[in-house]
A and B are shown apart, each in its own frame.
Chain A
Amino acid sequence: MTTLTARRPRIDSTNGVWLALGMTLIVGGILVATDGGSLFGQNSTVSLLQRAAGLGIVAVGQTFAILAGSLDLSVAYVISLTSLIAAETMAGSDGRVLPAILAVVAVSGAIGLVNGLLITKLRINAFIATLGVGLLIKGYLEQGYAGPAGSVPVSFQHLGYDRVGPAPVAFLLFIGVAAVAWLVINRSRFGHHLIATGGDLDVARLSGVRTDWVLIRTHIICSLCAGIAGLYLASRLGAGAPRVGAEGGYDLESIAAVVLGGTVLAGGKGGVAGTVGGVLLLAVIDGIFNQLAVDPFFKQVVRGVVIVAAVAIYALRLRRKVVRKAAA
């Protein structure tokens, strides 16, 4: 049994998404080419990566939450809130970019702390706790804002619009966040505790992991990522937008991207690499459909099918593995 576990790659099913991504790129590239377009042209690649960045940063944070066996439904509202905080603090002046970033970090971190405390100290189910916190923020946003507010100085808009070669700065930011997250999850003590907590909370606690503290930190990280995405969207839009998060569906889409990347929803298995693949896969599907000028609503249908199919394939492969192991 132990030898079998050792032989199995440590992160299973996160490799599958890269395979799917490669196949989608090939098939999509051919389809788009026969249609007379180009999936790999400068413009389409840039807009594809641009779209991936926002969702990607949120999804990296969501990966932490899901790995720990939790989830965060408040991220969409945290994004809207932090985009407003950023734009209103900056108020168009270059000198206030740093205070704005600090304010966003403080507020999103505090929201994550509240989420974590509700889940660990008050023992509220993560689904309900983060949904309730999301409703609170939503109420505040709807009460205080009718439309976009604040403004972002031109210097800060570099984040949203500049690029290095074909790669937008925002996409590099996403890859940077993902790389840091990978290091934290795979190389730090906290990362190991995170996986242990997500795998089995009681076993982790009995083994001496301070699971409450792990979960609290996890939720702070998740909210911080949403805050970073809020900063990016503020820079992209030039202002704060009270509905940008909810309309973008960042809560459920980020969970979908994580799961598409092979991270198990119940926690304890998966990783950031898969999430990056999941985000890219969603973005590539988007890009292909845009190039083919397919009905934009039909994209939703395909997304739904892809997500369910991917998870079904992971689940069936996992079961086959278990069956094989039982037979051996």
Chain B
Amino acid sequence: MTVEAPTGPATLGQSRRGRWGAGSILPVVAILVLLLIAVGIRQPDFYDPPALLAFLKRSAPLIILAAGQYFVIVAGDFDLSVGSLVTAEVVIAARLIDGDPSATWPVVALVLAFGLLVGLVNGLVTTLLLVPSFITTLGMYLILVGAVYTWTGGSPRGALSEEFRMLGRRGIEGVPWLGEIPYAVLILLVLAGLAILAMRSDFGKVLLAVGDNPRAARLAGGRVAGVRTIAFVVSGGCAAVAAILLGGFGGVSFQVGAGLEFTAITAVVLGGVVLGGGRGSVVGAMLGALTLQTLLTLLNLLGVAGALASAVQGLIILAAVAIGGLRART
């Protein structure tokens, strides 16, 4: 998938790109620090550990989605199906659980399996049938939205059990100083650790190579189709986890996942990852998501109405990516 990579051809030497160029996490860290300072000035008790943990808890789904999307993007693909997958998972879970606590864990397992399966289908269609991932996952998006509406007859039915919602809402209580450690934050930490380990493994190196130059990676003996498919499976799995957490936060509706695919991609790009693949780190992608969430929090604190927030969000993304791109050129 080529939509003109912003950094020019890959022939630029690693050294010339510099520490601030594309793929670096320094720009996003700088933006994040600025935003965090601004939030701190506006609301000093933001830095109380419980408040901070609550903020992390709210951010966890997007960070997890961004991590999943990172694997796909760094290999040069897109996953536009994650938003609809989140919606589908929440609606499926609500209907299957239907308020029955004993159904919780089987359904959690099913939700995870479904996410992985959707990712597998995305990956296989993209790699075996040679459909550009933009189209594969766009098709999957249409299919999931249509199927979920058809299955439920137009409005979500059933309800999530309290046990299911606990994962997104609750935490380990009574921890000294920190107060409550949300399960969402624990899940986030585990997944973030796994993601970092995965990118340091052989799999991660092949994935980066595939994104940089699939032909070279294939000639060098990399299992290109295999790692690309695994990337989609990871993204699907991450979407499933995000769905479980989001189901806990909010109600069951068709709007849970709406637009999340674009938010996740934006977060990844904000984190210095280059669309088209081969550049950027998973830490950057997750920091990008955290930055986006901090930005939204700040806009909220400043009383910028929800409507205008999307305009400010658009402006900041353009600015951040433009600065990153220009720096990469010099």
Instruction: Please give the residue numbers on chain A whose beta carbons come within 8 Å of chain B beta carbons, in ascending order.
Output: 69-71, 118-119, 122-129, 131-136, 138-140, 142-143, 201-202, 252, 255-256, 259, 265-267, 295, 297-305, 307-308, 311-312, 315-316, 318-319
Contact = CB atoms under 8 A, between A and B. Distances in A.
Contacts of A132: 314-315, 317-318, 321
Contacts of B262: 131
20 contacts: A122-B326, A123-B328, A125-B6, A126-B4, A127-B275, A136-B314, A143-B311, A255-B134, A256-B138, A265-B1, A299-B146, A300-B145, A301-B150, A302-B146, A303-B142, A304-B139, A304-B142, A307-B135, A307-B138, A315-B131
Given A118-B318, A143-B308, A301-B143, A201 B266 contact: no
Contact of B8 (A123, A134, A300, A312): A123
Contact of B6 (A123, A140, A259): A123
Contact of B135 (A135, A256, A303): A256
A135 B306 CA distance: 12
A131 B8 contact: no
B149 interface: yes
A316 B135 contact: no
Identify the interface centre among A123, A133, A305: most chain B CB within 10 Å of its CB: A123
A139 B318 CA distance: 14
Nearest to B134: A265
Identify the interface centre among A124, A133, A267, A315: most chain B CB within 10 Å of its CB: A124
A300 B149 contact: yes
Contacts of B139: 256, 304-305, 307-308
A140 B311 CA distance: 7
Given A124-B318, A135-B310, A316-B129, A300 B326 contact: no
Given A142-B306, A297-B147, A308-B131, 12 more contacts: A71-B3, A138-B311, A139-B313, A252-B141, A256-B135, A265-B135, A300-B147, A304-B138, A305-B139, A305-B143, A308-B125, A312-B131
Identify the interface centre among A119, A201, A304: most chain B CB within 10 Å of its CB: A304
Contact of B4 (A138, A201, A297): A201
Contact of A301 (B135, B142, B265, B307): B142
B131 A123 contact: no
B87 interface: no
B129 A315 contact: yes
Contacts of B140: 304, 308
B312 interface: yes
B4 A70 contact: yes
B44 interface: no
B301 interface: no
Nearest to B310: A139
A297 B154 contact: yes
Contacts of A71: 3
B15 interface: no
Contacts of B325: 122-124
Contact of A128 (B129, B131, B306, B318): B318
A122 B142 contact: no
Contacts of B136: 308
B132 A265 contact: yes
Identify the interface centre among A129, A133, A138, A256: most chain B CB within 10 Å of its CB: A129
A142 B4 contact: no
B4 A311 contact: no
Contacts of B314: 131-136, 138-139
Nearest to A255: B138
B150 A298 contact: yes
Contacts of B135: 256, 259, 265, 307-308, 311
Contacts of B4: 69-70, 119, 125-126, 201
A319 B128 CA distance: 12
A266 B214 CA distance: 15
Interface in B253-269: 262, 265-266, 269
Contacts of A123: 6-8, 322, 325-326, 328-329
Contacts of B317: 128, 131-132, 135
A298 B146 contact: yes
